[in-house]
């Protein structure tokens, strides 16, 4: 009976240990979230490493659709409608894909954000695409990276880097006049709340 109890305790301990740990991922998943204008932007993507390989032009062929990361397709979620590199995109979640060439990348937002890689990519599901120049990095970016860098209160850049290449897509609110009006109203409401709180005290 004691041996059985001991075995059960060991099994329970091992199970608890296993729940806290996992095998290291070759391309770890990352979620990036950034306040944007009156809402936020979230990017969920896999981060492959260079690992001594030639990336663009070989591992990632020129002129072919790429998942912009590893494993399941990269997902980007906009909390409000945005101007994506000069084109309007409604609020929602999209698959982010890239067609790279040596000097520029076509960055695509596609309705299908739940596919594995780009194996079932369908251009008919594209919402918008923008072509942006590629710049050469001075230092190698070992792990694929997507960042959201604000440039002011209501705009920013989607920055994509890997190996020696970097590209950026400018992001702005789709309706800046409406954003300004709503922001002014919100400030008025906060002032009223603040004044009411001071009056109570």
Pairing of β 104-110 and β 126-133: antiparallel
3-state secondary structure of 61: coil
User: Looking at residue 82, what is its pLDDT?
Assistant: 97
Helices (H) and strands (E) in the chain, counts: 2, 10
Count of residues for the chain?
Answer: 201
3-state secondary structure of 188: helix
Average confidence score pLDDT of the chain: 87
Bridge partner list, 15:
none
Structure tokens at 198: 């001071």
Q: Which H or E run contains 22? A: none
Burial class (CB within 10 angstroms; exposed 0-12, middle 13-18, buried 19+) of 39: middle
Spatial separation of the C-alpha atoms in residues 118 and 2, rounded to whole Å: 55
Tens-digit pLDDT profile for residues 161-182: 999 999 999 999 988 666 666 7
Q: Give φ, ψ of 57 to 5 degrees.
A: 100, -15
Spatial separation of the C-alpha atoms in residues 55 and 200, rounded to whole Å: 63
Structure tokens at 122: 């369908």
Spatial separation of the C-alpha atoms in residues 161 and 165, rounded to whole Å: 6
Find the mean pLDDT for residues 149-157. 92
Q: Where are the alpha helices (DSSP H) in the chain?
A: 2-20, 176-200
Over 70: is that where the pLDDT of 184 sits? no
Spatial separation of the C-alpha atoms in residues 83 and 88, rounded to whole Å: 5
Quick one: DSSP state of residue 60? Answer: B
pTM: 0.80
Bridge partner list, 72:
116
Quick one: DSSP state of residue 25? Answer: P
Tens-digit pLDDT profile for residues 46-102: 999 999 999 999 999 999 999 999 999 999 999 999 999 999 999 999 999 999 999
């Amino acid at each position: 009976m004691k041996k059985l109890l001991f075995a059960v305790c060991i099994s329970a301990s091992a199970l608890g240990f296993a729940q806290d740990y996992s095998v290291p991922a070759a391309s770890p998943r990352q979620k990036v979230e950034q306040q944007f204008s009156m809402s936020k932007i979230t990017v969920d993507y896999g981060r492959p490493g260079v690992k001594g390989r030639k990336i663009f032009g070989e591992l990632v062929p020129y002129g072919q659709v790429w998942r912009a990361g590893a494993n399941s397709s990269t997902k980007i979620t906009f909390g409000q409608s945005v101007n994506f590199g000069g084109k309007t995109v409604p609020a929602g979640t999209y698959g982010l894909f890239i067609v790279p060439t040596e000097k520029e990348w076509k960055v695509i937002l596609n309705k299908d954000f739940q596919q594995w890689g780009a194996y079932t990519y369908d251009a008919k599901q594209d919402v918008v695409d923008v072509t942006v120049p590629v710049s050469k990095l001075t230092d190698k970016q070992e792990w694929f990276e997507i960042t959201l860098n604000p440039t002011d209160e209501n705009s920013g850049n989607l920055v994509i880097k890997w190996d020696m290449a970097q590209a950026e897509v400018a992001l702005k609110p789709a309706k800046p006049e409406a954003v300004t009006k709503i922001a002014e109203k919100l400030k008025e409401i906060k002032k009223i709340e603040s004044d009411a709180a001071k009056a109570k005290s």
